Amino acid sequence: MKKSDLVKIHDWLWEIPKSFRQDMRVPARVYSSSEMLDEIIKDRSLDQLVNVATMPGIEKHALVMPDVHEGYGFPIGGVAAFNLREGVISPGGIGYDINCGVRLLKSALKVEEAIGRMPELAKEIYAAVPSGVGRSGRVKMSAAEFDEILSLGAEKAVALGYGTDKDLEQIESRGRLPEADPALVSAQAKGRGRDQLGTMGAGNHFVEAEMVQEIFDENEATRLGLFQGQVVILLHTGSRGLGHQVATDYIRVMMKAMPRYGISLPDRELACAPFNSPEGQDYFKAMSAAANFAWANRQIMSWEVRNAWRKVLGESGGELELLYDVAHNIAKLENDLVVHRKGATRAFPGQTVIIPGSMGTGSYVLVGEEKSLEESFGSTCHGAGRRMSRTQAKREVSGKELKLELEKRGIAVAAGSFSGLAEEAPGAYKDIDQVVEVVAQAGIAKKVARLKPLAVIKG
């Protein structure tokens, strides 16, 4: 893929025409600045996007956001919508970490009231929220109770005492996809997930204490209850081993099913089945169950974080109120389409959007715009987006030195390993400010506030 292969629609949107390759059913579009496009074309992500544009039943165009990078089958940062007649559903269009997502908890404290307690808070949250590869949680339940988590998501977590109905009102889809069927989740997947509720995991998952550094839209900030200097907590995790196993199980199913439906694709990693086929429906229901698990996981993690907050700050800290929780690896039925978002966030008009940046840099609160429904199936970016593999990051960055550097900048750090820190070094990611500027200038989401990190907690 060369830059000259793309047609510039405007300064923030580019198109690979349908004529680029004979098997494309729709054009492919890229939200990017000219400068960022030079970086994007260095990996295979746009070739993967063209492959997505060949899939049966795809509508309008295949899309990627400015945080795009190469993924399994679909590029990460991708959005694709399929009609319900001939359209397909593909595990590669959702990813292995089903309903990886973020939620933001807001306090009533100003940064000067809490800054001295950040090292203590980081240690307490690290102790309260189990983290690391394969790490078990403290929440134990029977097989029947666990199936209720898969059916009811955050609603079941709240019913068990891990939050309130007020929380549910601030979660995308109220933390539950009703199509979920626990019977379609394998015993192996359930076994991997049953003891992982309320856990962070590893990789790019984290909890961060942050402050509202800058307000861009006073009216929206007031509506959302955000103010300059406010202390907030950002959580990022997903469906852990359960979601990974669901993806693994159904990729295998789809690969066997494709010949039966006469589906031939340029990349086996795009394995799919017609949405209305038995295989497509089974995956959609299992994926929905994994998404519900992830929402319950973040709900229980929030309970753990709230306990740590109270332990460190006492009554003076007040309560942590949920601003919003949003998924960025999911397929949903929206406007009579099956919308796949893989490393992309729903951004319906007026909806809160939370965009985490790379560790120690900054994050954003956005609000979806009307144009997102017209252009991007109600979607926007999901983060900074990797520009360096984890292996390369560990080769080039010292986790120990990174920790010292963050602490010199006044950011408290609690982490399970130096190698885990190195993998997530800011240099391994794109510039979050540039990514957000693209979607803001393109008119699909507007900036409300920028957040600055005060403490980082990682597995």
Active site residues: 382
How far is the C-alpha of 230 from the C-alpha of 448, rounded, in Å?
14
Give burial (CB, 10 Å; 0-12/13-18/19+) of 157: buried
Q: Residue 73 carries which DSSP code? A: S
User: Tell me, what amino acid is at 404?
Assistant: L
Instruction: Say whether 440 sits in a helix, a strand or coil.
Output: helix
- Contact 354/324 with Cβ under 8 angstroms? yes
The continuous run of DSSP H or E covering 71 comes out as: none
How far is the C-alpha of 366 from the C-alpha of 445, rounded, in Å?
6
CB atoms within 10 A of CB 408: 8
How far is the C-alpha of 220 from the C-alpha of 8, rounded, in Å?
32
Among 88, 101, 87, 51, CA closest to 71: 51
Q: Where are the alpha helices (DSSP H) in 153-228?
A: 154-159, 165-168, 187-193, 218-224
3-state secondary structure 269-283: HHCCEECCCHHHHHH
Q: CB-based contacts of 247: which residues, under 8 Å, 6+ apart?
A: 91, 94, 95, 96, 98
The residue ranges of DSSP E strands in 98-181, in sequence order, are 101-110
Helix axis angle, 240-257 to 278-313, nearest 10°: 170
Per the structure block, which two tokens stand in for 346? 């729903």
End-to-end CA, the chain:
37
- Contact 377/63 with Cβ under 8 angstroms? yes
